[in-house]
Structure 1
Amino acid sequence: MEMEQYDTLTDDEMIAMANDVLTRYLPEHQGTATLICRSENATFKVRTEREQFALRIHRPDYHDAINIQSELAWLAALEQQGFVVPMPVADKNGIQVQPIEVSDQDRRFAVLFRWIEGSMPTTDIEPEQFEPLGEIMARLHLHSIHWPRPAWFKRLQWDHPSMVGEHGHWGHWKKVPGLSPADIETVQRAVDSIALHVQHYGKESQTYGLIHADLRLTNLLFHHGMTRAIDFDDCGEGWFMHDIAAAISFYEHHENAEEWMSSVLRGYQKVRPLSQRDLDILPVMVMQRRIQLLAWVGSHQQTEMAQSLGEHWVAETVRLCQDYLRIHAKALEAVG
Structure 2
Amino acid sequence: MHQEVIDGFSPNIRSELFRRLGLSGEFTDLEGFENFVYAMDGRVVRVSHDSHRTVEQLLGELEFVSMLSEQGAPVAAPVLLDRDHYIESLDGYHACVFEKVEGIRVHQPIDDDVVIAWGESIGLFHKLAAGFIPSHPRQDWVADGNHQFHERIPAEQTQILERAEGLMGRLAELPCEDDVFGLIHSDAHPGNFLVDGNQLTFFDFDDCLYAWFGYDLATLVFGIALLADEQDRISDVKKFLDLFLTGYQKRHTVDALLMKYMAELLTLREFSFYAVVYAFMDPENLVYDTAKRYMKGRRPLLEEGVPLVDFEALGY
What range describes the TM-score normalised by the shorter chain of this pair? 0.7 to 0.9
Find 2:209's aligned residue among 236, 239, 242: 236
Structure 1, unpaired ranges of 5+: 102-106, 176-180, 329-336
Aligned AA for 2:141? W
The count of residues paired between Structure 1 and Structure 2 equals 302
Aligned AA for 1:280? K
Alpha-carbon distance change, 199 to 24 in structure 1, aligned in 2, over 3 angstroms: closer
Alpha-carbon distance change, 235 to 160 in structure 1, aligned in 2, over 3 angstroms: closer
Structure 1 distance, partners of 2:175, 2:60, is 25
Computed over aligned residues only, the root mean square deviation of the Cα atoms, in angstroms, reads 3.4
1:245 aligns with 2:218: yes
Q: Check whether the contact 2:114–2:198 (CA below 8 A) recurs between aligned residues.
A: no
Q: 2:97 — aligned with what?
A: 112
Q: Check whether the contact 1:86–1:230 (CA below 8 A) recurs between aligned residues.
A: yes
1:58 aligns with 2:48: yes
Deviation at 1:240, TM superposition (A): 0.7
| TM-score normalised by length of structure 1 | 0.77
Structure 2 distance, partners of 1:192, 1:233, is 25
Q: Check whether the contact 2:153–2:161 (CA below 8 A) recurs between aligned residues.
A: no
Deviation at 1:160, TM superposition (A): 8.1
Alpha-carbon distance change, 215 to 274 in structure 1, aligned in 2, over 3 angstroms: same
Deviation at 1:57, TM superposition (A): 0.5
Matches within 5 A, 1:108-257: 108-126=93-111, 129-147=114-132, 149-150=133-134, 152-159=135-142, 163-166=146-149, 171-174=151-154, 184=157, 187-188=160-161, 190-192=163-165, 194-253=167-226, 254=228, 255=233, 256-257=236-237
1:74 aligns with 2:64: yes
Find 1:37's aligned residue among 13, 31, 51: 31
Cα distance per residue 1:55-82 (max 9 Å; x no partner): 1000232222122122111222112111
Q: 1:280 — aligned with what?
A: 260
Structure 1 distance, partners of 2:242, 2:121, is 15
Cα distance per residue 1:171-209 (max 9 Å; x no partner): 52337xxxxx6xx45534642553354233232222221
SS of alignment partner, residue 88 of structure 1: coil
Structure 2 distance, partners of 1:237, 1:25, is 30
Deviation at 1:92, TM superposition (A): 4.3
SS of alignment partner, residue 23 of structure 1: helix
Alpha-carbon distance change, 258 to 59 in structure 1, aligned in 2, over 3 angstroms: farther
| TM-score normalised by length of structure 2 | 0.81
Structure 2, unpaired ranges of 5+: 312-316
Q: Check whether the contact 1:24–1:91 (CA below 8 A) recurs between aligned residues.
A: no
Deviation at 1:281, TM superposition (A): 0.9
Structure 2 distance, partners of 1:188, 1:218, is 29
Deviation at 1:310, TM superposition (A): 5.0
Alpha-carbon distance change, 122 to 93 in structure 1, aligned in 2, over 3 angstroms: same
Find 2:249's aligned residue among 266, 269, 282: 269
Structure 2 distance, partners of 1:81, 1:240, is 19
Alpha-carbon distance change, 204 to 250 in structure 1, aligned in 2, over 3 angstroms: same
Q: 2:295 — aligned with what?
A: 314
1:300 aligns with 2:300: no
Structure 2 distance, partners of 1:138, 1:61, is 32
Q: Check whether the contact 1:25–1:91 (CA below 8 A) recurs between aligned residues.
A: yes
SS of alignment partner, residue 158 of structure 1: coil
> Which segment is superposed worse, 15-24 or 207-216?
15-24
1:25 aligns with 2:21: yes
Find 2:269's aligned residue among 289, 295, 298: 289
Alpha-carbon distance change, 233 to 124 in structure 1, aligned in 2, over 3 angstroms: same
SS of alignment partner, residue 29 of structure 2: strand
Q: Check whether the contact 1:241–1:282 (CA below 8 A) recurs between aligned residues.
A: yes
Aligned AA for 1:60? D
Structure 2 distance, partners of 1:211, 1:59, is 22
Alpha-carbon distance change, 133 to 173 in structure 1, aligned in 2, over 3 angstroms: farther
Alpha-carbon distance change, 257 to 237 in structure 1, aligned in 2, over 3 angstroms: same
Aligned AA for 1:144? A
Deviation at 1:95, TM superposition (A): 3.3
Alpha-carbon distance change, 90 to 126 in structure 1, aligned in 2, over 3 angstroms: closer
